[in-house]
Structure 1
Amino acid sequence: MRPFKILFLLFLLISLTAYAQQLTCIDFKEGSFYVPADEEMPLSYKIIRKGTEQIEVVDDPNNMLGPDFNKTAYVKIEWIDACTSRLKYDETKMELSDYQKHINENNGFLTEMVKIEGNCFYFKSTFNDHDRVEEMTGKICKE
């Protein structure tokens, strides 16, 4: 192979690598995702997003949460911008627990995508409960 062709192929490979598509917040607005288990959340769960709706299904094969725990939650998404949303439980699709009602009555969870690495985004979710703010962090990955 001629030196020119080798240099051209090398340049092409470097260019393709440098300009490979990076995921953005918009890539996480719709589709199927999963939340891996970690220290804060010992169970993983699946998330399905479409438009302003989200379904969350907890993976609890050992029934750690008990037989009465509803492992599927329906959530309404209010997109504030491409990386920030407010999440509230959808009372039209499920019977809300007292905790879920309390979340909704206090304006839901404000969730911000903090950074994207690979096929996952790291988030910070806050809940204002009168005079205190609860914060949770984690990551959500594209399937």
Structure 2
Amino acid sequence: MAIYCSYTSVANNMNKLILHLLMIIGLSSCGQDLKCSDFKNGKFLIPGDSIYPISSIIIRKDGRQVEWEKVGDSTHAIIKYLDDCNWILTYDTELNELDELEQLINDSGGVKVEVLEIKGDTLFYNGIFKNDTLLFEQPGTIIKLK
């Protein structure tokens, strides 16, 4: 028994195979999780939660952060990266008039942020503020917008 394959059917099958491979590669690259370093620069959303119900937008660039809870009300911060997944946030005294809590945070060395997990475009973190008499931990999320 002889098997007959025409050049056309082989070419069609090769085209289908290539098309399927390209689709698989394209779909798998679209759904990749981000890395800690992807949260160093860009535009982000910190959604409100049960502890602090107000959402805010932040823009990060080159170790600096500007945060808006409402239009016209911004807070400037300095980010000192310990590594890609851990950093210390302090308030910028040149661009902000610090309230009592912000001054206490700065005087105590800032808020240490530890990344717990990244799923898709969302970073889950734990913020830790500590000095000689206080220890405060607050979990949160940061969603990458751009």
Q: TM-score range by the shorter chain?
A: 0.7 to 0.9
RMSD value, Cα:
2.1
> Would you identify which runs of 4 or more consecutive aligned residues in structure 1 move more than 6 Å?
none
Taking the TM superposition and a 5 Å limit, the aligned residue runs for 1:93-104 are 93-104=95-106
Q: Deviations over 1:110-139 (max 9, x none)?
A: 112222222221111111132442111111
| Separation of aligned partners in 2, 1:40 and 1:5 | 55
One-letter amino acid of the counterpart of residue 92, structure 1: E
Equivalent position of 1:112 in the other structure? 114
| Structure 2 counterparts to residues 35-54 of structure 1, below 5 A | 35-54=46-65
Cα deviation, 1:31-57, whole Å, max 9, x if unaligned, reads 111111121220100111111211111
Which residue among 87, 90, 103 is the counterpart of 1:85?
87
Please name the residue that 2:69 is paired with. Answer: 58
Query: What letter is aligned with 1:79?
Result: Y
Distance 1:58 1:19 in 2: 33
- In our comparison, the structure showing a higher alpha carbon Rg is 2
Distance 2:29 2:93 in 1: 44
Pick the structure with more helix per residue: 2
Unaligned ranges ≥5, structure 1: 61-69
1:4-63, CA deviations, whole angstroms, 9 ceiling, x for partnerless residues?
A: 332332222223333445321111101111111121220100111111211111138xxx
Within the alignment, does 1:7 sit opposite 2:17 as a pair? yes
- TM-score scaled by length of structure 1: 0.82
> Letter of the aligned partner of 1:110 in structure 2?
K
In the superposition, the TM-score normalised over structure 2's length comes to 0.81
Number of residue-to-residue matches in the alignment: 134
Letter in 2 for 1:73: T
- Distance in 1 (CA, whole Å) between partners of 2:134 and 2:80 is 23
The residue aligned with 1:27 is 38
